[in-house]
């Protein structure tokens, strides 16, 4: 269940409705911290929470583990791989998937972070690369094994780059004394001339300077156009010998969007009415990354805060309609954005104020703990962060699955 669906269910719980949650996973994933699983900072269980554990406290709510395959609008039924589910109102918030923009070679060889298993798989790959480097006699191949290319200078790319360089320089350097870990490379590739495009210029400059001071190679105005198991090719023909490519350069609506029958907008998103309903189907609401809605002349971004506010609005709208009323059109209230760069360093913009450095980092920590679901998860994550802050040690350096020959 995504951020939007959870908020909708909360709004409708205990209000006399029969609410059915449908998802192919039985847990809610706190995706903003998935990169910390990939960089050995957190256990995967600490950022996920069982949907049934949440729903059992919500009167009138039940969970159905299934994958949605289609929607019959005339019969008002959702088709799944486990049968059909009737509905009076339908809220669709299946989220997004990684957008590789038609680069098939990149899609074959790149890692992304959308599912819980992706974090563990990427962590396995990073640690395995160092194990392979230990026994690699060829210096060039050894360096390629310790080279990590990250595509996309948004929050995910910045946060992953910062966490990865700290893992390499402060943790793996001690684990692998036989390697010259200082020669390891973390390369961040961004197609535009700045990082964190949604933030103010001073925060962008701070982020760039901080990453470079940490040892991250930042390439601006650069695009990845091809990839293989041991190389990454840029638009100008430059080749970076690397065994690891992480892609965070864009997302598009989940494939389920095609089942809604509407002409998609950029990114495969579905255009919705101002009240988030699907045109021609007032009983169907589309929320989150799948929904295309313009506000102040620009489409709303595909980020978690938008999904959460849409989810709350969808639940409130259904409740109002059942009581004979209606709500004004949906309007997103931007409360700001933030990104962590590394230990004691972050940038944040909220309510017209800008924060950077330690203060922004503390705000980032507190807000992420607040939105994390489950008291145990909050405690575990907080303890992991405290431990890392004081000892520069990450406990989850586990290779839980061996890679098959040939890479992924």
Q: What are the distances in angstroms from CA 214 to CA 25, 55, 58, 91, 328?
A: 37, 43, 46, 44, 48
Quote the tokens at residue 329: 């059109």
Please tell me the distance from the alpha carbon of residue 327 to that of residue 318, in angstroms, as a whole number: 9
- 3-state DSSP assignment of residue 259: helix
Q: How many domains does the chain have?
A: 2
pLDDT of residue 408: 53
On the question of pLDDT at 175 being above 90, the answer is yes
DSSP conformational letter for 1: -
- 3-state DSSP assignment of residue 163: helix
- Mark whether 77 is an active-site residue: no
- 3-state DSSP assignment of residue 272: coil
71 and 197 in a single domain? The answer is no
Domain membership flag for residue 400: no
Domain membership flag for residue 125: yes
209 and 124 in a single domain? The answer is yes
Residue where one domain finishes, among candidates 322, 347, 381: 322
Determine how many CB atoms are found less than 10 A away from the CB of residue 348.
23
162 and 204 in a single domain? The answer is yes
pLDDT of residue 403: 77
350 and 238 in a single domain? The answer is yes
Domain membership flag for residue 38: no
Q: What count of residues does the chain have?
A: 408
Please tell me the distance from the alpha carbon of residue 37 to that of residue 114, in angstroms, as a whole number: 12
Domain membership flag for residue 44: no
- From 124, 145, 147, select the one nearest 40 (Cα to Cα): 124
- 3-state DSSP assignment of residue 388: helix
111 and 203 in a single domain? The answer is yes
Residue where one domain finishes, among candidates 289, 322, 355: 322
Domain membership flag for residue 13: yes
Mean pLDDT of 211-234: 98
Active-site residue identified among 11, 43, 120, 159: 159
118 and 76 in a single domain? The answer is no
Domain membership flag for residue 396: no
Mean pLDDT of 154-158: 97
On the question of pLDDT at 78 being above 60, the answer is yes
11 and 157 in a single domain? The answer is no
- 3-state DSSP assignment of residue 130: helix
Mean pLDDT of 372-391: 94
On the question of pLDDT at 83 being above 80, the answer is yes
On the question of pLDDT at 58 being above 80, the answer is yes
217 and 160 in a single domain? The answer is yes
Domain limits at 287?
A: 3-24+66-98+251-322
228 and 348 in a single domain? The answer is yes
119 and 14 in a single domain? The answer is no
187 and 237 in a single domain? The answer is yes
132 and 231 in a single domain? The answer is yes
Please tell me the distance from the alpha carbon of residue 185 to that of residue 171, in angstroms, as a whole number: 15
Which class for 246: exposed (0-12), middle (13-18), buried (19 or more C-beta within 10 A)?
buried
Average pLDDT, the chain: 95
Domain membership flag for residue 243: yes
Supply the pTM of this predicted model.
0.94
On the question of pLDDT at 350 being above 90, the answer is no
Domain membership flag for residue 268: yes
Please tell me the distance from the alpha carbon of residue 49 to that of residue 46, in angstroms, as a whole number: 8
**Please, how many CA atoms are within 13 Å of residue 176, restricted to the half-sphere of its CB?**
25
On the question of pLDDT at 181 being above 80, the answer is yes
Identify the CATH number of the domain in which residue 387 sits: 3.50.50.100
Identify the CATH number of the domain in which residue 89 sits: 3.50.50.60
Mean pLDDT of 210-225: 98
On the question of pLDDT at 293 being above 90, the answer is yes
């Amino acid at each position: 269940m995504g951020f939007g669906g959870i908020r909708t269910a909360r709004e409708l719980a205990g209000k006399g409705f029969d609410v059915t949650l449908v998802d192919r996973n039985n847990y809610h994933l706190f995706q903003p911290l998935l990169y910390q699983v990939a960089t050995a900072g957190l256990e995967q269980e600490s950022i996920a929470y069982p949907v049934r554990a949440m729903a059992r406290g919500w009167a009138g709510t039940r969970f159905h583990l299934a994958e949605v395959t289609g929607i019959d609008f005339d019969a008002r039924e959702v088709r799944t791989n486990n049968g059909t589910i009737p509905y009076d109102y339908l809220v669709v918030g299946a989220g997004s998937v990684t957008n590789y923009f038609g680069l098939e070679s990149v899609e074959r060889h790149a890692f992304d972070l959308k599912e819980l298993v992706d974090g563990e798989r990427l962590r396995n790959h990073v640690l395995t690369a160092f194990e392979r480097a230990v026994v690699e006699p060829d210096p060039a191949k050894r360096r390629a094994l310790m080279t990590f290319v990250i595509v996309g200078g948004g929050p995910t790319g910045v946060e992953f780059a910062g966490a990865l360089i700290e893992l390499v320089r402060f943790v793996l350097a001690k684990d692998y004394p036989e390697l010259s870990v200082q020669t390891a490379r973390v390369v961040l590739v961004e197609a535009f001339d700045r990082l964190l495009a949604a933030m103010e210029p001073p925060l962008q400059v701070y982020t760039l300077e901080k990453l470079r001071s940490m040892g991250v190679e930042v390439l601006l105005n650069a695009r990845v156009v091809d990839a293989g198991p041991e190389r990454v090719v840029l638009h100008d023909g430059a080749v970076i010998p690397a065994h690891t490519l992480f892609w965070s350069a864009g997302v598009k609506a989940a494939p389920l969007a095609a089942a809604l029958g509407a002409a998609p907008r950029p990114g495969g998103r579905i255009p919705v009415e101002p009240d988030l309903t699907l045109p021609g189907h007032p009983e169907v609401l589309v929320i989150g990354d799948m929904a295309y809605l313009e506000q102040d002349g620009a489409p709303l971004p595909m980020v978690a805060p938008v999904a959460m506010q849409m989810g709350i609005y969808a639940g409130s709208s259904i409740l109002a309609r059942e009581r004979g009323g209606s709500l004004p059109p949906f309007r997103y209230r931007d409360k700001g954005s933030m990104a962590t760069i590394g230990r004691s360093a972050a940038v944040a913009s909220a309510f017209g104020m800008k924060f950077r450095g330690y203060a922004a980092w503390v705000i980032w920590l507190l807000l992420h703990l607040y939105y994390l679901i489950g008291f145990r998860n909050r405690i575990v994550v907080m303890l992991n962060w405290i431990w890392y802050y004081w000892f520069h040690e990450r406990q989850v350096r586990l290779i839980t699955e061996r890679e098959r020959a040939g890479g992924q």
